[in-house]
């Protein structure tokens, strides 16, 4: 009977040791998962920071585009005004000739 109790005690101790080993491995696995999650969290923070910076740069570029478009409109108006004056100067010769014909008739 002592042998049976001794065997059961040994068997129970071996089972407890296996359970402890499995629990220890489980904890190690959880530690690895937590470490990976920390790395992923850090990477995600980095991506969020870069995305925020990219949004700021995009906003600045959009503002610059609006300014450039306004400047282009102003330049186009100035070019049309200049073209009208050039046309008037080019036509000045014809106008003087007509005027001379009328005056010196």
For residue 64, the model assigns a pLDDT of 98
Query: What is the rounded CA–CA span in Å between residue 76 and residue 70?
Result: 10
Query: What is the rounded CA–CA span in Å between residue 32 and residue 39?
Result: 11
Q: Could you please report the per-residue DSSP string of 79-92?
A: HHHHHHHHHHHHHH
For residue 95, the model assigns a pLDDT of 81
For residue 40, the model assigns a pLDDT of 97
Q: Quick one: DSSP state of residue 104?
A: T
For residue 14, report the phi and psi dihedrals to the nearest 5 degrees: -65, -40
For residue 14, the model assigns a pLDDT of 83
- pTM value is 0.54
**pLDDT, tens digit only, all 105 positions of the chain:** 556 555 566 777 788 889 999 999 999 999 999 999 999 999 999 999 999 999 999 999 999 999 999 999 999 999 999 999 999 888 888 888 887 778 887
For residue 4, the model assigns a pLDDT of 55
């Amino acid at each position: 009977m002592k042998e049976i109790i001794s065997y059961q005690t040994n068997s129970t101790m071996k089972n407890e040791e296996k359970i402890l080993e499995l629990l220890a491995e489980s904890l190690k696995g959880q530690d690895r998962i937590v470490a990976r999650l920390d790395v992923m969290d850090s990477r995600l923070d980095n991506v969020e920071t870069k995305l925020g910076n990219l949004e700021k740069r995009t906003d600045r570029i959009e503002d610059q585009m609006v300014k450039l478009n306004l400047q282009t409109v102003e330049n186009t108006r100035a070019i049309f005004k200049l073209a009208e004056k050039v046309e008037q100067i080019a036509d000045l010769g014809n106008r003087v000739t007509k005027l001379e014909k009328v005056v010196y008739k």
